[in-house]
A and B are shown apart, each in its own frame.
Chain A
Amino acid sequence: MHEWDFAATLADMDLLLLGLWNTIQVFVLALAFGVPLGLGLALGRMSRTPVLSQLCSFVIEFFRTTPPLVQLFWFFFALPILISVQMTPFVASVLTFSIQSSAFFAEIFRGGINSIDKGQWEAAKAIGMTRKASLRRIILPQAVKRMIPAFAERSIELLKTTTLISTVSYADLMFQANELASKTFRPLEVYTVVAVMYFFLILVFSQITILLEYRLAKSGEGTMR
């Protein structure tokens, strides 16, 4: 029977908290870049210009179907060779997960926009609105409400996938956990604490999205039309 002893783990809690902070940074930046980029890709894919539409479709499908670890290694090891830039683990991580998640967000945006009744486009057009104004004022505000559950689901998936960045020696929570486990010889305790930390991080995030969903739902719209 294992003798549980959290003393060593808790004594080095600051290491894990630093890792948590680094994980949060990559996660938040990937969302901050990934969501607008996803919207751009979705609009590109739905564009009436065939070249643009096909290009965006390709980017979306490529990043949805290739393993995130391969993408990460590619950005970290291959890209610096191609365009001779200084690549840090942090930059490679943010770059990879911004683009990777944008491909998924693009499909969520597209689904949300397509789910809006085409009568909404017509009504906006009939009062003289341009397509751009219709999208911004009428379609997106309604689509975003419907997207929130899928968006939350995907973001949680993203957060879990960020554990891969420990493989390029970025000091995220997972990397710090590995370090601490080999330092303390207490892997069971370390990984248990880390699992609990991920759990609470995701719990807080999903509570925020539920709150957001509730707030938006309250502002009107019970049914279509």
Chain B
Amino acid sequence: MTNAVEIRELHKSFGDLEVLKGIDLDVAQGEAVVLLGSSGSGKSTLLRCINFMEEPTSGRVSLNGDLIGTEQGGRMRYRESDLCQLRTRIGMVFQHFNLFPHKTVLENVMEGQVIVLGRSKAEAKEKAMAQLARVGLEEKAPEYPARLSGGQKQRVAIARALAMDPEVMLFDEVTSALDPELVGEVLKTMRQLAEEGMTMVCVTHEIGFAYHVANKVCFLHQGQILEQGAPQVVLKTPETSRVREFLEGHSLFKLPE
């Protein structure tokens, strides 16, 4: 079976600063991968290279067997229209939700369907309501985002991404801006998605989530993947002292025996 995401020899520099130094990563269909690593290790950048919010400096990215971009003179070239099209196939959820404040919850979830995918309003509304039901927020459809709690906003943001019928979902520290008591409802939604077989790549510091939900964890350090494997292996018996130290730093995390 083709991998949902295949990343080969990915490099990314911002000016002189090389942030990703050769990443190889496979995400199988239906798999949930968690990216771990300390701040500045390049997790967000890697995630953003998957949906081309950032253009890789070199390397290849494939989505369900489709190589993104065309090779020309040893370099990959990307057309903006192709990248827009690609982004419709990949959902992304941000730390700060980024809901559209001038639109209702329903309109937020309909926007991309109507404007980008060209669905009729009736169809978009039906799909939007279905996705809102999926994250348990049907009754908030007519509200404006300002009226929602942080956890509810984030679930709407998830519904907005799901409404595009993405092949992969990307989550970038989506619980980091939430009050602790609101983290659970968002993680529960993500867990439910993973159990339904959604392919997902998540950057998170919730190691409990990584342990219980992920099929694979990758530990990033200075722009390279230092360790990757099943969470029960990497999180319990890390090979490198770097990963051990990182996990010890997360004192709240107690692995079940």
Contact = CB atoms under 8 A, between A and B. Distances in A.
Interface of A: 117, 119-120, 122-130, 133, 137-138, 141-142, 145, 219-225
Contacts of B144: 220-222
A127 B146 contact: no
B131 to A, nearest CB: 13
A225 B98 contact: yes
20 contacts: A119-B94, A119-B96, A119-B98, A120-B98, A122-B53, A122-B98, A123-B94, A124-B100, A126-B92, A127-B111, A127-B161, A128-B86, A133-B115, A220-B102, A220-B103, A221-B146, A222-B147, A223-B146, A224-B101, A225-B97
B205 to A, nearest CB: 20
A125 B53 contact: yes
Contacts, number: 84
A128 B88 contact: yes
Contact of B112 (A129, A141, A145, A219): A129
Contacts of B127: none
B51 A126 contact: yes
Nearest to A122: B98
A127 to B, nearest CB: 3
Contacts of A225: 96-99, 101, 145, 153
B80 to A, nearest CB: 8
Given A222-B144, A225-B96, A128 B101 contact: no
A129 B80 CA distance: 11
* Most interface-central of B91, B96, B115 (chain A CB within 10 A): B115
The 3 closest A-B pairs by CB, nearest first: A127-B112, A128-B88, A222-B146
A219 B94 contact: no
Interface string B65-85: 000000000000000110011
Contacts of A224: 101
A128 B87 contact: yes
Contact of B87 (A117, A127, A145): A127
B35 interface: no
B41 interface: no
B84 A141 contact: no
